[in-house]
């Protein structure tokens, strides 16, 4: 596992080294503030689900989250994880990574942003990078077609895995 963060400590620089505990704590505090302003709250299972997603910068499948929740006494039925993940995604606190059929914590909750996901094909780390320019180009290319939502997922090698590839 790498200790990396998509732009938290170094804006625009995915996979930059940082203080991960601070990063996760800052995101959790922003999430709580955002939900309170929206008249919502993090129930214990929602909070724990977000904490699990914030532990690493890897996307986790719903069943991976469910296993963790079940081991901690939150229930073993799939709706437990799916409802929590759906809530987090709906409120901009998590993103679904379609390529991996998994979820990752949003590193910029409560901000209107257009993320691009950088996915390492070796270790499956996921970085959330600013995709404003990409979405601007997409909107321009779409012409009169009104783009409502788009997900950009780029597959490649993170710096740590590039180093491993060089050594091989």
The pLDDT of residue 151? 86
Tell me the average pLDDT of the chain.
85
Q: How far apart are CA 64 and CA 96, in angstroms?
A: 14
Q: How far apart are CA 63 and CA 102, in angstroms?
A: 9
The pLDDT of residue 165? 57
Asked whether 114 and 134 are in contact (CB, 8 A), the reply is: yes
Q: How far apart are CA 112 and CA 44, in angstroms?
A: 26
- The arithmetic mean of pLDDT across residues 113-129, rounded, is 88
- The arithmetic mean of pLDDT across residues 99-110, rounded, is 89
**pLDDT tens-place string over residues 58-99:** 899 999 999 999 999 998 899 999 999 999 999 999 999 999
DSSP code per residue over 116-131: EEEEETTT-BEEEEE-
- Give the CATH number of the domain where residue 139 resides: 1.10.10.10
Domain that holds residue 142: 4-167
What are the two backbone dihedrals, phi and then psi, of residue 68, each rounded to the nearest 5 degrees? Answer: -65, -45
Would you say the C-alpha torsion 69, 70, 72, 74 has a positive or negative sign? positive
How many structural domains are present in the chain?
1
Prediction pTM value: 0.82
Assign 88 to helix, strand or coil: helix
What are the angstrom distances between the C-alpha of 127 and each of 13, 52, 65, 101, 143?
Answer: 9, 16, 19, 16, 29
Give the closest residue to 157 by CA, choosing from 105, 128, 107, 118: 118
Instruction: Name the token pair of 31.
Output: 């999430």
- The arithmetic mean of pLDDT across residues 3-27, rounded, is 61
**pLDDT tens-place string over residues 150-164:** 889 999 998 889 886
pLDDT over 70 percentage in the chain: 86
């Amino acid at each position: 596992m790498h200790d990396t963060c998509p732009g938290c400590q170094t804006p625009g620089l995915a996979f930059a080294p940082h203080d991960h505990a601070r990063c996760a704590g800052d995101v959790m505090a922003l999430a709580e503030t955002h939900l309170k302003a929206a008249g919502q709250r993090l129930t214990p299972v929602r909070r724990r689900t977000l904490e699990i997603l914030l532990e690493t910068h890897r996307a986790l499948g719903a069943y991976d989250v469910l296993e963790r929740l079940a081991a901690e006494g939150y229930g073993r039925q799939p709706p437990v994880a799916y409802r929590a993940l759906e809530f987090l995604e709906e409120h901009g606190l998590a993103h679904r990574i379609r390529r991996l059929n998994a979820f990752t914590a949003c590193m910029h909750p409560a901000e209107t942003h257009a993320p691009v996901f950088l996915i390492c094909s070796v270790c499956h780390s996921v970085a959330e990078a600013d995709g404003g320019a990409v979405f601007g180009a997409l909107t321009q290319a779409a012409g009169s077609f009104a783009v409502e939502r788009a997900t950009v997922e780029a597959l490649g090698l993170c710096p740590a895995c590039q180093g491993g590839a060089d050594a091989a």
